Amino acid sequence: MATSQTTPFDELARLASDFVAAQRGSWDHQDWVDLLARARAKGIDVSAEMQASLGALLEALKDYHTAVASTEGLRGATDRVFDNSVAFVKRQNGRWGHSEWEDFVRTVQENTRAWSGGTEAYVGGVLESLKGFYSLFPAVTTTGSAPAEEPQAVSKPSPAPNRRPEPREKRDDLTVLPGLGPAIAKKLNQEGIVRYAQLAALSESEIAHLEKNVIKSSGRFKRHDWVGQARKLSEG
């Protein structure tokens, strides 16, 4: 029988969902610091690794909320979708196969209007983020076995062209740039972009690739002038 006890995973996941909804998908570094403070006030020890996973979850939730934002009166329904996602990840102990994913989709489709073919991929992204997030918490007693098959709901984006990671000791803190939080910094690092000079040297085509396939947020580079800001930092 699944436990109904609220765990730190539940609390932090709910904090993340409420944060994205309250901020309407837009936040800065201070908002991020305030969120971490609220988590710590609840007695949750947010490690550096957990911060990275939390940042990835925020980005996935932002994409999901943006996808359903045009549908009025469905905040309660979207909350239920998220709660169902959290329960699914816990029930499956953070592991599931394609058949379990299809069962989850059918169940949510039957119980809420906040669902369409267009939002299915975004919910898949939320589940993937929750899976990595869940793995950082102590095990929760749940029912059901964990299948060996890996989830297939979300495809992995292709890497940015001609980018290689540099040694860790040479990495710059990309989060000092305005609007560039830990989640986006992690994605850029995974693409081999770890220094200000690399950001400053990005071409228009590389920026377009990163915005479409990696950070999945169009216009972010130009809006925050990341290239210009990175150039100043690299020259300073």
* 82-111 pLDDT, tens digit each: 788 888 888 888 888 888 888 887 877 776
Burial category of 143 from C-beta neighbours within 10 Å (exposed 0-12, middle 13-18, buried 19 and up): exposed
| Residue 99, in any domain of the structure | yes
pLDDT score for 3:
43
Which pTM value belongs to this model? 0.55
| Residue 1, in any domain of the structure | no
CATH code for the domain of 184:
1.10.150
Same domain? For 20 and 129 the reply is: yes
Q: Which string of b and e fits 207-234 if b means at least 16 CB within 10 Å? A: bebbbeebbbbeebbeeeebbebbbebe
Same domain? For 174 and 128 the reply is: no
| Residue 139, in any domain of the structure | no
| Residue 153, in any domain of the structure | no
pLDDT band at 226 (very low <50, low <70, confident <90, very high): very high
pLDDT score for 69:
63
| Residue 115, in any domain of the structure | yes
pLDDT score for 77:
62
Contacts of 20-24 with CB under 8 Å at 24 or more apart are: 20/58, 20/61, 20/62, 20/65, 21/65, 21/75, 24/65, 24/69
Same domain? For 78 and 194 the reply is: no
What's the chain's average pLDDT?
75
Cβ-Cβ contacts under 8 Å for 221 (sequence gap 6 or more): 202, 207, 210, 211, 227
**Structural domain boundaries enclosing 21:** 8-134
Total number of domains in the chain: 2
Same domain? For 114 and 190 the reply is: no
Number of other residues whose CB lies within 10 A of the CB of residue 26: 9
Same domain? For 126 and 189 the reply is: no
Same domain? For 172 and 102 the reply is: no
The CA angle 105-8-156, to the nearest 5 degrees, is 45
Q: Is the pLDDT of residue 178 over 80?
A: yes
Q: 156 to each of 125, 128, 153, 187, how far by Cα in Å?
A: 11, 11, 10, 12
Least confident of 107-121, 141-155, 158-172, 219-233: 141-155
